[in-house]
Amino acid sequence: MKILLKARFDGKNYCGWQVQKNGSSIQGQINKAAAEIYNTEIKVTGCSRTDSGVHALEYCFTIEPPENAPKIPFENLPSALNIKLNDDISVFEAKEVPDSFHARYSVKSKTYEYLIDNGFYKNPFMLNRAWHLKKHLDENIMEAAAKEFMGKYDFSAFMASGSDVSDTVRTVTNTEVLRKGDTVIFRVSADGFLYNMVRIMTGTLTEVSYGKISPEKIKEIILSGDRKKAGLTAPAYGLYLKNVLY
């Protein structure tokens, strides 16, 4: 039996989703919780990697309890796992899926949001939740520039070094930049994302707003494949995985 679960987490205290030797991970915490519930090691597969400090409003993962494990109704799993998990991780949905289903490779689309605290004075309630930029951002100019990301392109110019991905072509299906009070939100959906792609997009859009890059240059930067021509990489703590579609 394979079970698909959804979780929310605050990534501040973790080195990302994937188990790593250099720190605590979301996957590691779920591995431990699942093993305690089932009294055996459980295979846990996530929908994607996330960088250290990145948050999720809806992260999808599967578990595969062996046949000899205790039988726990899947609808009870969120509560059972949450008892074992830290307070900054919460599982909120579970359902059975076919054995052919894969948490990562069956994904059709993901949506990320990036939050910028754009008040002149920083908001302490957004600490480690949003990137504080006190200089005013023009969300309308950013919105126009963000639309240039839409389409199927090689997004090498928006990928950080250190990735071992061979295929850098992605299809961006929707972008949006909006303001809610002092918070500027960049939202982007695609069939997949490269290493630091959304954070580099966000940094580039802020430079567009500040007049360092013209909106018309976005397409040129994409086609160049040159990371040096894109903007800075926004901090990880403002990034949220919003939802995953299968």
Please name each of the domains of the chain with its CATH number: 2-97 (3.30.70.580), 109-245 (3.30.70.660)
Q: What is the mean pLDDT of residues 113-128?
A: 97
How sure is the predictor about 1, in pLDDT bands with cuts at 50, 70 and 90? confident
Does residue 99 carry a catalytic annotation? no
Q: What percent of the chain has pLDDT over 90?
A: 91
Q: Which one from 10, 51, 117, 182 is the annotated catalytic residue?
A: 51
Closest to 196 (Cα-Cα) out of 243, 230, 220, 221: 230
pLDDT at 28: 96
Q: What is the mean pLDDT of residues 188-217?
A: 97
Q: pTM higher than 0.95, yes or no?
A: no
pLDDT at 99: 93
The separation between the first and the last C-alpha atoms of the chain, rounded to the nearest angstrom, is: 19
For residues 242 and 187, the answer to whether their CB atoms sit within 8 Å is yes
Beta-bridge mates of residue 185: 115, 178
